[in-house]
Amino acid sequence: MDRIRIVGGRRLEGAIAISGAKNAALPLMIASLLTKDTLILDNVPRLADVSLLQRILGNHGVDIMVGGKRPGGKVDDGQTLHISAADIVDTTAPYELVSKMRASFWVLAPLLARMGEARVSMPGGCAIGTRPVDLLIMAMQRLGAAIEIDSGYVVARAPRGLKGGEIVFPKVTVSGTHTAIMAASLADGTTVIENAAREPEVADVALCLNKMGARISGAGTRRIVVEGVAKLNGARHAVLPDRIETGTYAMAVAMAGGEVLLQNTRADLLQAALDVLTRAGVAVTPTNQGIRIARNGAGLDPVEVATAPFPEFPTDLQAQLMALMTRARGTSQIVETIFENRFMHVQELVRLGARIQLQGERATIEGVERLKGAPVMATDLRASVSLVIAALAAEGETLVNRVYHLDRGFERLEEKLGRCGAAIERLSG
Ligand code: EPZ
Protein backbone atom coordinates (compact mmCIF):
# COMPACT_ATOMS: atom_id res chain seq x y z
CA MET A 1 0.00 0.00 0.00
CA ASP A 2 1.81 3.15 -1.19
CA ARG A 3 2.25 6.07 1.14
CA ILE A 4 3.43 9.63 0.50
CA ARG A 5 6.04 11.21 2.78
CA ILE A 6 6.23 14.99 2.99
CA VAL A 7 8.58 17.19 5.02
CA GLY A 8 6.96 20.60 5.37
CA GLY A 9 8.44 24.08 5.24
CA ARG A 10 9.62 24.32 1.62
CA ARG A 11 8.39 27.13 -0.66
CA LEU A 12 7.20 26.20 -4.17
CA GLU A 13 8.79 27.82 -7.24
CA GLY A 14 8.48 26.96 -10.92
CA ALA A 15 5.68 25.60 -13.11
CA ILE A 16 3.08 22.82 -12.96
CA ALA A 17 1.41 21.47 -16.13
CA ILE A 18 -2.29 20.86 -15.51
CA SER A 19 -3.67 17.61 -16.93
CA GLY A 20 -6.96 16.97 -18.73
CA ALA A 21 -10.05 16.97 -16.51
CA LYS A 22 -10.89 13.62 -14.89
CA ASN A 23 -14.57 14.59 -14.68
CA ALA A 24 -14.70 15.29 -18.40
CA ALA A 25 -12.54 12.36 -19.54
CA LEU A 26 -14.83 9.81 -17.84
CA PRO A 27 -18.13 10.90 -19.49
CA LEU A 28 -16.30 11.51 -22.81
CA MET A 29 -15.04 7.91 -22.78
CA ILE A 30 -18.57 6.72 -21.98
CA ALA A 31 -19.95 8.80 -24.88
CA SER A 32 -18.01 6.51 -27.24
CA LEU A 33 -20.77 3.93 -26.69
CA LEU A 34 -23.14 6.17 -28.69
CA THR A 35 -21.46 5.47 -32.05
CA LYS A 36 -20.08 2.55 -34.07
CA ASP A 37 -17.27 4.79 -35.28
CA THR A 38 -14.02 5.52 -33.46
CA LEU A 39 -13.87 8.41 -31.00
CA ILE A 40 -10.37 9.84 -30.53
CA LEU A 41 -9.75 11.66 -27.25
CA ASP A 42 -6.60 13.74 -26.66
CA ASN A 43 -5.21 15.13 -23.39
CA VAL A 44 -6.66 12.23 -21.39
CA PRO A 45 -5.11 12.18 -17.89
CA ARG A 46 -3.19 9.09 -16.71
CA LEU A 47 -5.39 8.25 -13.72
CA ALA A 48 -6.53 5.08 -12.00
CA ASP A 49 -10.16 5.95 -12.73
CA VAL A 50 -9.41 6.26 -16.47
CA SER A 51 -7.69 2.86 -16.51
CA LEU A 52 -10.59 1.30 -14.61
CA LEU A 53 -13.13 2.78 -17.03
CA GLN A 54 -11.14 1.32 -19.94
CA ARG A 55 -11.67 -2.10 -18.31
CA ILE A 56 -15.36 -1.46 -17.77
CA LEU A 57 -15.90 -0.36 -21.38
CA GLY A 58 -13.95 -3.42 -22.53
CA ASN A 59 -16.55 -5.54 -20.75
CA HIS A 60 -19.17 -4.13 -23.16
CA GLY A 61 -16.98 -5.06 -26.16
CA VAL A 62 -15.35 -1.66 -26.63
CA ASP A 63 -11.82 -1.66 -28.11
CA ILE A 64 -9.45 0.99 -26.79
CA MET A 65 -6.06 1.75 -28.31
CA VAL A 66 -3.74 3.95 -26.26
CA GLY A 67 -1.57 6.14 -28.48
CA GLY A 68 2.16 5.76 -27.98
CA LYS A 69 4.76 8.48 -27.56
CA ARG A 70 5.15 10.84 -30.51
CA PRO A 71 8.31 12.69 -31.67
CA GLY A 72 8.70 15.70 -29.38
CA GLY A 73 6.13 14.29 -26.98
CA LYS A 74 6.55 15.46 -23.37
CA VAL A 75 5.67 13.65 -20.13
CA ASP A 76 3.13 16.40 -19.41
CA ASP A 77 1.20 15.72 -22.61
CA GLY A 78 -1.98 13.81 -21.91
CA GLN A 79 -2.53 10.43 -23.52
CA THR A 80 -4.56 9.85 -26.69
CA LEU A 81 -7.21 7.13 -26.64
CA HIS A 82 -8.80 5.65 -29.78
CA ILE A 83 -12.11 4.20 -28.56
CA SER A 84 -14.26 2.00 -30.79
CA ALA A 85 -17.67 0.65 -29.72
CA ALA A 86 -18.39 -0.86 -33.15
CA ASP A 87 -20.13 -3.86 -31.58
CA ILE A 88 -21.59 -3.73 -28.08
CA VAL A 89 -21.65 -7.38 -27.02
CA ASP A 90 -22.87 -7.00 -23.45
CA THR A 91 -25.35 -4.46 -22.08
CA THR A 92 -24.75 -5.39 -18.44
CA ALA A 93 -22.45 -3.37 -16.17
CA PRO A 94 -21.69 -5.72 -13.25
CA TYR A 95 -21.60 -4.77 -9.58
CA GLU A 96 -17.95 -5.79 -9.16
CA LEU A 97 -16.96 -3.13 -11.70
CA VAL A 98 -19.51 -0.36 -11.06
CA SER A 99 -18.90 -0.49 -7.31
CA LYS A 100 -15.24 0.36 -7.93
CA MET A 101 -15.98 3.63 -9.76
CA ARG A 102 -19.37 5.29 -9.50
CA ALA A 103 -19.22 7.18 -12.76
CA SER A 104 -19.33 3.84 -14.60
CA PHE A 105 -23.04 3.85 -13.76
CA TRP A 106 -23.29 6.52 -16.44
CA VAL A 107 -23.04 3.84 -19.16
CA LEU A 108 -26.78 3.42 -18.58
CA ALA A 109 -27.85 6.20 -20.95
CA PRO A 110 -25.69 5.39 -24.01
CA LEU A 111 -26.34 1.64 -23.73
CA LEU A 112 -30.07 2.31 -23.55
CA ALA A 113 -30.01 4.88 -26.37
CA ARG A 114 -27.94 2.72 -28.71
CA MET A 115 -29.09 -0.83 -27.82
CA GLY A 116 -32.59 -0.27 -26.45
CA GLU A 117 -31.67 -1.98 -23.19
CA ALA A 118 -29.23 -1.77 -20.27
CA ARG A 119 -28.70 -3.62 -17.01
CA VAL A 120 -26.47 -1.56 -14.75
CA SER A 121 -25.59 -2.26 -11.14
CA MET A 122 -26.68 0.42 -8.68
CA PRO A 123 -23.36 2.03 -7.66
CA GLY A 124 -24.02 2.01 -3.92
CA GLY A 125 -22.99 4.79 -1.60
CA CYS A 126 -19.51 6.12 -1.09
CA ALA A 127 -17.50 7.86 1.62
CA ILE A 128 -18.93 11.32 0.94
CA GLY A 129 -22.61 10.44 0.83
CA THR A 130 -25.44 8.13 -0.22
CA ARG A 131 -25.13 9.37 -3.84
CA PRO A 132 -28.61 8.28 -5.07
CA VAL A 133 -29.30 7.89 -8.80
CA ASP A 134 -33.05 8.59 -8.69
CA LEU A 135 -32.72 11.67 -10.91
CA LEU A 136 -30.81 9.75 -13.58
CA ILE A 137 -33.60 7.16 -13.60
CA MET A 138 -36.24 9.92 -13.73
CA ALA A 139 -34.51 11.43 -16.78
CA MET A 140 -34.57 8.09 -18.64
CA GLN A 141 -38.23 7.57 -17.78
CA ARG A 142 -39.05 11.04 -19.13
CA LEU A 143 -37.61 9.88 -22.46
CA GLY A 144 -39.85 6.81 -22.51
CA ALA A 145 -37.67 4.15 -20.91
CA ALA A 146 -39.25 1.40 -18.80
CA ILE A 147 -37.12 1.06 -15.68
CA GLU A 148 -37.19 -1.49 -12.87
CA ILE A 149 -34.84 -2.27 -10.00
CA ASP A 150 -33.99 -5.96 -9.82
CA SER A 151 -31.53 -7.42 -7.27
CA GLY A 152 -29.50 -4.23 -7.04
CA TYR A 153 -29.50 -3.60 -10.78
CA VAL A 154 -31.24 -0.89 -12.77
CA VAL A 155 -32.89 -2.69 -15.69
CA ALA A 156 -33.84 -0.23 -18.44
CA ARG A 157 -35.69 -0.96 -21.65
CA ALA A 158 -36.69 1.14 -24.66
CA PRO A 159 -37.27 -1.43 -27.40
CA ARG A 160 -38.76 1.11 -29.76
CA GLY A 161 -36.06 3.67 -28.95
CA LEU A 162 -36.21 6.77 -26.72
CA LYS A 163 -38.53 9.69 -27.42
CA GLY A 164 -37.66 13.35 -26.88
CA GLY A 165 -39.33 14.89 -23.84
CA GLU A 166 -39.06 17.52 -21.11
CA ILE A 167 -36.75 16.84 -18.14
CA VAL A 168 -36.92 19.21 -15.17
CA PHE A 169 -34.28 18.48 -12.51
CA PRO A 170 -35.49 19.42 -8.99
CA LYS A 171 -31.84 19.95 -8.01
CA VAL A 172 -28.70 20.48 -10.05
CA THR A 173 -27.06 17.14 -10.85
CA VAL A 174 -23.96 16.73 -13.03
CA SER A 175 -24.55 13.00 -13.53
CA GLY A 176 -28.22 13.60 -14.27
CA THR A 177 -27.37 16.22 -16.87
CA HIS A 178 -24.75 14.00 -18.56
CA THR A 179 -27.26 11.14 -18.59
CA ALA A 180 -30.04 13.27 -20.08
CA ILE A 181 -27.83 14.75 -22.81
CA MET A 182 -26.40 11.40 -23.91
CA ALA A 183 -29.78 9.70 -24.03
CA ALA A 184 -31.49 12.63 -25.76
CA SER A 185 -28.79 12.77 -28.46
CA LEU A 186 -30.18 9.59 -30.07
CA ALA A 187 -33.84 10.02 -29.05
CA ASP A 188 -36.60 10.59 -31.61
CA GLY A 189 -37.56 14.27 -31.35
CA THR A 190 -36.58 17.21 -29.17
CA THR A 191 -35.62 17.13 -25.50
CA VAL A 192 -35.58 20.16 -23.21
CA ILE A 193 -33.52 19.89 -19.99
CA GLU A 194 -34.38 22.47 -17.32
CA ASN A 195 -32.21 23.30 -14.28
CA ALA A 196 -29.27 21.59 -15.99
CA ALA A 197 -25.79 21.48 -14.42
CA ARG A 198 -23.60 24.25 -15.84
CA GLU A 199 -20.24 22.63 -14.99
CA PRO A 200 -17.58 23.13 -17.72
CA GLU A 201 -17.28 19.34 -18.03
CA VAL A 202 -20.94 19.19 -19.15
CA ALA A 203 -20.24 21.81 -21.83
CA ASP A 204 -17.11 19.90 -22.91
CA VAL A 205 -19.02 16.64 -23.37
CA ALA A 206 -21.76 18.46 -25.31
CA LEU A 207 -19.10 20.05 -27.53
CA CYS A 208 -17.67 16.60 -28.30
CA LEU A 209 -21.12 15.13 -28.95
CA ASN A 210 -21.86 17.96 -31.41
CA LYS A 211 -18.58 17.12 -33.20
CA MET A 212 -20.00 13.57 -33.44
CA GLY A 213 -23.14 14.91 -35.11
CA ALA A 214 -25.39 15.58 -32.15
CA ARG A 215 -27.51 18.73 -32.11
CA ILE A 216 -27.19 20.17 -28.59
CA SER A 217 -27.65 23.84 -27.73
CA GLY A 218 -27.42 25.66 -24.40
CA ALA A 219 -24.86 23.38 -22.73
CA GLY A 220 -23.26 25.34 -19.88
CA THR A 221 -26.55 27.15 -19.18
CA ARG A 222 -29.53 26.10 -17.05
CA ARG A 223 -31.58 25.17 -20.16
CA ILE A 224 -30.30 22.66 -22.73
CA VAL A 225 -32.16 21.69 -25.91
CA VAL A 226 -31.26 18.48 -27.77
CA GLU A 227 -32.59 17.62 -31.25
CA GLY A 228 -32.28 13.83 -31.43
CA VAL A 229 -30.50 12.34 -34.49
CA ALA A 230 -30.55 8.82 -35.94
CA LYS A 231 -26.86 8.12 -35.41
CA LEU A 232 -23.63 9.67 -34.24
CA ASN A 233 -20.24 9.48 -35.94
CA GLY A 234 -16.64 9.36 -34.84
CA ALA A 235 -14.77 12.56 -33.95
CA ARG A 236 -11.58 13.84 -32.38
CA HIS A 237 -11.71 15.91 -29.17
CA ALA A 238 -9.21 17.20 -26.62
CA VAL A 239 -10.27 16.98 -22.96
CA LEU A 240 -10.48 20.41 -21.31
CA PRO A 241 -8.09 21.31 -18.45
CA ASP A 242 -8.87 20.02 -14.96
CA ARG A 243 -10.23 22.94 -12.92
CA ILE A 244 -10.10 20.93 -9.68
CA GLU A 245 -6.44 20.03 -10.18
CA THR A 246 -5.83 23.71 -11.01
CA GLY A 247 -7.49 24.90 -7.80
CA THR A 248 -5.74 22.21 -5.78
CA TYR A 249 -2.25 23.28 -6.85
CA ALA A 250 -3.17 26.95 -6.46
CA MET A 251 -4.01 26.20 -2.82
CA ALA A 252 -0.82 24.18 -2.41
CA VAL A 253 1.24 27.22 -3.49
CA ALA A 254 -0.84 29.49 -1.25
CA MET A 255 -0.15 27.16 1.69
CA ALA A 256 3.58 26.61 1.11
CA GLY A 257 4.34 30.14 -0.10
CA GLY A 258 6.31 30.88 -3.30
CA GLU A 259 5.34 31.46 -6.92
CA VAL A 260 4.21 28.88 -9.50
CA LEU A 261 2.81 29.12 -13.04
CA LEU A 262 -0.09 26.66 -13.54
CA GLN A 263 0.19 25.84 -17.25
CA ASN A 264 -2.39 24.64 -19.84
CA THR A 265 -5.36 25.82 -17.80
CA ARG A 266 -7.85 28.71 -17.78
CA ALA A 267 -9.05 31.05 -15.02
CA ASP A 268 -12.67 31.07 -16.29
CA LEU A 269 -12.97 27.37 -15.32
CA LEU A 270 -12.69 28.18 -11.62
CA GLN A 271 -13.23 31.94 -11.19
CA ALA A 272 -15.15 31.59 -7.91
CA ALA A 273 -12.29 29.63 -6.35
CA LEU A 274 -9.69 32.09 -7.62
CA ASP A 275 -11.74 34.98 -6.19
CA VAL A 276 -11.70 33.25 -2.77
CA LEU A 277 -7.90 32.92 -2.97
CA THR A 278 -7.60 36.59 -3.87
CA ARG A 279 -9.74 37.47 -0.81
CA ALA A 280 -7.37 35.32 1.27
CA GLY A 281 -4.45 37.48 0.15
CA VAL A 282 -3.01 35.23 -2.58
CA ALA A 283 -1.75 36.87 -5.79
CA VAL A 284 -3.68 35.30 -8.71
CA THR A 285 -2.57 36.44 -12.20
CA PRO A 286 -4.10 34.91 -15.33
CA THR A 287 -1.61 34.86 -18.24
CA ASN A 288 -1.81 33.51 -21.80
CA GLN A 289 0.12 30.43 -20.60
CA GLY A 290 -2.13 29.71 -17.63
CA ILE A 291 -2.47 31.18 -14.13
CA ARG A 292 0.38 32.51 -11.96
CA ILE A 293 -0.13 31.94 -8.23
CA ALA A 294 2.07 33.67 -5.62
CA ARG A 295 2.20 34.25 -1.90
CA ASN A 296 5.45 35.79 -0.76
CA GLY A 297 5.54 36.59 2.93
CA ALA A 298 1.99 37.95 3.24
CA GLY A 299 -0.16 36.06 5.72
CA LEU A 300 -3.41 34.34 4.78
CA ASP A 301 -6.70 36.08 5.55
CA PRO A 302 -9.74 34.03 6.68
CA VAL A 303 -12.69 33.58 4.31
CA GLU A 304 -16.36 32.56 4.44
CA VAL A 305 -17.42 30.17 1.66
CA ALA A 306 -20.38 27.91 0.82
CA THR A 307 -20.02 25.23 -1.85
CA ALA A 308 -22.60 25.23 -4.64
CA PRO A 309 -23.01 24.11 -8.28
CA PHE A 310 -20.95 25.85 -10.97
CA PRO A 311 -20.19 28.76 -11.31
CA GLU A 312 -20.05 28.97 -7.49
CA PHE A 313 -17.28 27.52 -5.29
CA PRO A 314 -16.94 23.78 -6.15
CA THR A 315 -17.47 21.09 -3.54
CA ASP A 316 -14.44 19.28 -5.00
CA LEU A 317 -12.19 22.09 -3.68
CA GLN A 318 -13.80 22.30 -0.22
CA ALA A 319 -11.34 20.02 1.57
CA GLN A 320 -8.37 21.74 -0.05
CA LEU A 321 -9.59 25.21 1.02
CA MET A 322 -10.15 23.95 4.55
CA ALA A 323 -6.54 22.75 4.73
CA LEU A 324 -5.37 26.18 3.57
CA MET A 325 -7.52 28.02 6.10
CA THR A 326 -5.99 26.10 9.03
CA ARG A 327 -3.12 28.62 8.78
CA ALA A 328 -5.17 31.81 8.22
CA ARG A 329 -4.87 34.83 10.58
CA GLY A 330 -8.37 34.45 11.97
CA THR A 331 -11.47 32.27 11.85
CA SER A 332 -12.98 30.96 8.58
CA GLN A 333 -16.36 29.39 7.84
CA ILE A 334 -16.97 26.72 5.18
CA VAL A 335 -20.45 25.35 4.45
CA GLU A 336 -20.77 22.12 2.41
CA THR A 337 -24.16 22.18 0.67
CA ILE A 338 -23.74 19.42 -1.96
CA PHE A 339 -22.80 16.22 -0.09
CA GLU A 340 -23.96 15.16 3.34
CA ASN A 341 -20.71 13.65 4.58
CA ARG A 342 -17.80 15.47 3.06
CA PHE A 343 -15.93 16.46 6.22
CA MET A 344 -13.92 13.27 6.83
CA HIS A 345 -10.68 15.19 6.29
CA VAL A 346 -11.45 17.30 9.38
CA GLN A 347 -10.29 14.76 11.97
CA GLU A 348 -7.12 14.10 9.99
CA LEU A 349 -6.35 17.84 9.77
CA VAL A 350 -6.94 18.07 13.54
CA ARG A 351 -4.25 15.40 13.98
CA LEU A 352 -1.86 17.86 12.32
CA GLY A 353 -2.81 20.53 14.87
CA ALA A 354 -5.69 22.27 13.08
CA ARG A 355 -8.54 23.78 15.13
CA ILE A 356 -11.84 22.93 13.41
CA GLN A 357 -15.37 22.73 14.83
CA LEU A 358 -18.26 21.08 12.95
CA GLN A 359 -21.93 21.98 13.29
CA GLY A 360 -23.90 20.00 10.67
CA GLU A 361 -22.90 21.26 7.22
CA ARG A 362 -20.85 24.15 8.66
CA ALA A 363 -17.15 23.96 9.55
CA THR A 364 -15.50 26.71 11.62
CA ILE A 365 -11.73 26.83 11.15
CA GLU A 366 -9.69 28.85 13.68
CA GLY A 367 -6.32 29.59 12.11
CA VAL A 368 -3.26 28.37 14.03
CA GLU A 369 0.36 29.51 14.03
CA ARG A 370 1.79 26.12 13.23
CA LEU A 371 0.89 22.60 12.14
CA LYS A 372 2.96 19.59 13.14
CA GLY A 373 3.55 16.63 10.83
CA ALA A 374 2.01 13.23 11.73
CA PRO A 375 0.81 10.02 10.05
CA VAL A 376 -2.63 10.69 8.50
CA MET A 377 -5.12 8.71 6.46
CA ALA A 378 -7.09 9.60 3.36
CA THR A 379 -10.76 8.70 2.90
CA ASP A 380 -11.60 10.05 -0.56
CA LEU A 381 -9.58 11.60 -3.33
CA ARG A 382 -10.18 15.25 -2.48
CA ALA A 383 -9.76 14.67 1.27
CA SER A 384 -6.44 12.94 0.56
CA VAL A 385 -5.03 15.90 -1.31
CA SER A 386 -6.12 18.29 1.47
CA LEU A 387 -3.77 16.36 3.76
CA VAL A 388 -0.93 16.86 1.27
CA ILE A 389 -1.64 20.61 1.24
CA ALA A 390 -1.57 20.79 5.04
CA ALA A 391 1.62 18.69 5.16
CA LEU A 392 3.43 21.19 2.89
CA ALA A 393 3.27 23.75 5.73
CA ALA A 394 3.44 21.36 8.70
CA GLU A 395 6.67 21.17 10.71
CA GLY A 396 8.48 17.89 10.26
CA GLU A 397 7.36 14.74 8.50
CA THR A 398 3.83 13.76 7.47
CA LEU A 399 2.97 10.31 6.11
CA VAL A 400 -0.22 10.23 4.03
CA ASN A 401 -1.61 6.69 3.92
CA ARG A 402 -4.09 5.14 1.43
CA VAL A 403 -2.53 7.00 -1.46
CA TYR A 404 -4.64 5.04 -3.94
CA HIS A 405 -7.31 7.69 -3.36
CA LEU A 406 -4.87 10.33 -4.65
CA ASP A 407 -4.02 8.29 -7.74
CA ARG A 408 -7.70 8.31 -8.74
CA GLY A 409 -7.73 12.05 -9.39
CA PHE A 410 -4.22 13.48 -9.48
CA GLU A 411 -1.68 12.49 -12.13
CA ARG A 412 1.96 12.30 -10.90
CA LEU A 413 1.22 14.57 -7.92
CA GLU A 414 4.50 13.98 -6.10
CA GLU A 415 6.46 14.63 -9.34
CA LYS A 416 4.59 17.87 -10.09
CA LEU A 417 5.09 19.22 -6.55
CA GLY A 418 8.63 17.80 -6.24
CA ARG A 419 9.73 19.64 -9.39
CA CYS A 420 8.70 22.89 -7.67
CA GLY A 421 10.82 22.20 -4.60
CA ALA A 422 8.50 20.29 -2.25
CA ALA A 423 10.16 17.62 -0.08
CA ILE A 424 7.78 14.83 -1.16
CA GLU A 425 8.31 11.19 -2.06
CA ARG A 426 6.21 8.06 -2.62
CA LEU A 427 7.05 5.10 -0.39
CA SER A 428 6.02 1.88 -2.10
CA GLY A 429 4.85 -1.23 -0.27
C1 EPZ B 1 -20.00 14.83 -10.08
O2 EPZ B 1 -20.57 13.82 -9.27
C3 EPZ B 1 -18.49 14.71 -9.88
N4 EPZ B 1 -18.03 13.40 -10.35
C5 EPZ B 1 -18.16 14.89 -8.39
O6 EPZ B 1 -16.74 14.85 -8.27
C7 EPZ B 1 -18.66 16.26 -7.95
O8 EPZ B 1 -18.39 16.42 -6.57
C9 EPZ B 1 -20.17 16.38 -8.22
O10 EPZ B 1 -20.43 16.13 -9.63
C11 EPZ B 1 -20.72 17.75 -7.87
O12 EPZ B 1 -20.07 18.71 -8.64
C13 EPZ B 1 -17.81 13.24 -11.67
O14 EPZ B 1 -18.03 14.12 -12.48
C15 EPZ B 1 -17.29 11.89 -12.08
P16 EPZ B 1 -24.25 15.26 -8.76
P17 EPZ B 1 -22.15 13.49 -9.45
O18 EPZ B 1 -25.12 14.32 -9.51
O19 EPZ B 1 -22.52 13.75 -10.85
C20 EPZ B 1 -27.60 14.48 -5.51
C21 EPZ B 1 -14.70 14.05 -7.52
O22 EPZ B 1 -14.13 14.25 -6.44
N23 EPZ B 1 -28.20 13.55 -6.48
O24 EPZ B 1 -24.05 16.64 -9.31
O25 EPZ B 1 -22.41 12.15 -8.89
C26 EPZ B 1 -26.26 13.99 -4.98
O27 EPZ B 1 -26.44 13.10 -3.91
C28 EPZ B 1 -16.18 13.75 -7.53
O29 EPZ B 1 -14.15 14.11 -8.65
C30 EPZ B 1 -29.45 13.00 -6.20
O31 EPZ B 1 -30.05 13.27 -5.17
O32 EPZ B 1 -22.82 14.60 -8.51
C33 EPZ B 1 -25.60 15.27 -4.54
O34 EPZ B 1 -26.09 15.62 -3.26
C35 EPZ B 1 -16.75 13.62 -6.14
N36 EPZ B 1 -30.00 12.13 -7.09
C37 EPZ B 1 -26.12 16.30 -5.55
O38 EPZ B 1 -27.28 15.71 -6.15
C39 EPZ B 1 -29.38 11.80 -8.26
O40 EPZ B 1 -29.95 11.02 -9.05
C41 EPZ B 1 -25.13 16.59 -6.66
O42 EPZ B 1 -24.78 15.35 -7.24
C43 EPZ B 1 -28.11 12.36 -8.54
C44 EPZ B 1 -27.54 13.24 -7.64
| pLDDT (tens digit per residue) in 339-372 | 999 999 999 999 999 999 999 999 999 999 999 9
Considering the domain architecture, whether residues 91 and 160 belong to the same structural domain is answered as: yes
Q: What is the pLDDT of residue 429?
A: 74
Q: What is the pLDDT of residue 370?
A: 96
Q: Whose CA is nearest to atom 4 of ligand 1?
A: 23
Query: Domain with 111 in it: what CATH number?
Result: 3.65.10.10
Q: To the nearest whole number, what is the mean pLDDT of the chain?
A: 96
pTM value is 0.98
Considering the domain architecture, whether residues 227 and 79 belong to the same structural domain is answered as: yes
CA of 127 to the centre of ligand 1 (A): 13
CA of 291 to the centre of ligand 1 (A): 27
pLDDT bin (cut points 50, 70, 90) of residue 129 is: confident
Catalytic residues: 126
Q: What is the pLDDT of residue 3?
A: 94
Domain boundary among 205, 238, 271: 238
Considering the domain architecture, whether residues 51 and 166 belong to the same structural domain is answered as: yes
| Atom number in ligand 1 closest to CA 49 | 15
Q: Structurally, how many domains does the chain consist of?
A: 2
The DSSP output letter for 59 is: H
* Each residue's pLDDT tens digit, 15-24: 999 999 999 9
Considering the domain architecture, whether residues 274 and 224 belong to the same structural domain is answered as: no
Considering the domain architecture, whether residues 191 and 307 belong to the same structural domain is answered as: no
Q: Domain range holding 306?
A: 3-19+241-427
pLDDT bin (cut points 50, 70, 90) of residue 124 is: confident
* Each residue's pLDDT tens digit, 152-162: 999 999 999 99
Q: What is the pLDDT of residue 297?
A: 85
Q: At what angle do helices 22-31 and 243-256 cross, to 10 degrees?
A: 170
Task: Please say if the pLDDT value at position 210 is more than 90.
Answer: yes
**Which of 19, 175, 244, 320 is the best mutation target for the ligand 1 pocket, counting ligand atoms within 8 Å of the beta carbon and taking the most?**
175
* Each residue's pLDDT tens digit, 282-331: 999 999 999 999 999 889 999 999 999 999 999 999 999 999 999 999 99
The runs of H, that is alpha helices, within 214-344 are 243-256, 271-279, 318-325
Distance CA 386, CA 244 (A): 12
Q: What is the dihedral of CA 256, 374, 126, 413, to 10 degrees?
A: 40
* Each residue's pLDDT tens digit, 59-76: 999 999 999 988 988 878
Considering the domain architecture, whether residues 201 and 282 belong to the same structural domain is answered as: no
What is the CB < 6 Å shell around ligand 1? Answer: 23, 26, 103, 129, 131-136, 171, 173-176, 197, 315-316, 338-339, 381-382, 409
Residues 6+ apart with CB under 8 A from 275: none
Exposed / middle / buried, residue 86 (Cβ in 10 Å: 0-12, 13-18, 19+): exposed
Contact of 195 with 172, CB cutoff 8 Å: yes
Considering the domain architecture, whether residues 284 and 296 belong to the same structural domain is answered as: yes
| Atom number in ligand 1 closest to CA 315 | 8
CA of 172 to the centre of ligand 1 (A): 9
Considering the domain architecture, whether residues 282 and 296 belong to the same structural domain is answered as: yes
Contact of 120 with 107, CB cutoff 8 Å: yes
| Atom number in ligand 1 closest to CA 310 | 12
**Which of 316, 344, 407 is the best mutation target for the ligand 1 pocket, counting ligand atoms within 8 Å of the beta carbon and taking the most?**
316
Q: Whose CA is nearest to atom 8 of ligand 1?
A: 316
Distance CA 82, CA 92 (A): 22
Task: Please say if the pLDDT value at position 131 is more than 90.
Answer: no
pLDDT bin (cut points 50, 70, 90) of residue 379 is: confident
Considering the domain architecture, whether residues 285 and 412 belong to the same structural domain is answered as: yes
Domain boundary among 238, 255, 281: 238
Q: Whose CA is nearest to atom 26 of ligand 1?
A: 131
Considering the domain architecture, whether residues 188 and 55 belong to the same structural domain is answered as: yes
Where residue 9 falls (left for φ over 0; alpha for ψ -120 to 50; beta otherwise) is left
Q: What is the pLDDT of residue 69?
A: 87
CA of 236 to the centre of ligand 1 (A): 27
Considering the domain architecture, whether residues 177 and 251 belong to the same structural domain is answered as: no
Considering the domain architecture, whether residues 188 and 218 belong to the same structural domain is answered as: yes
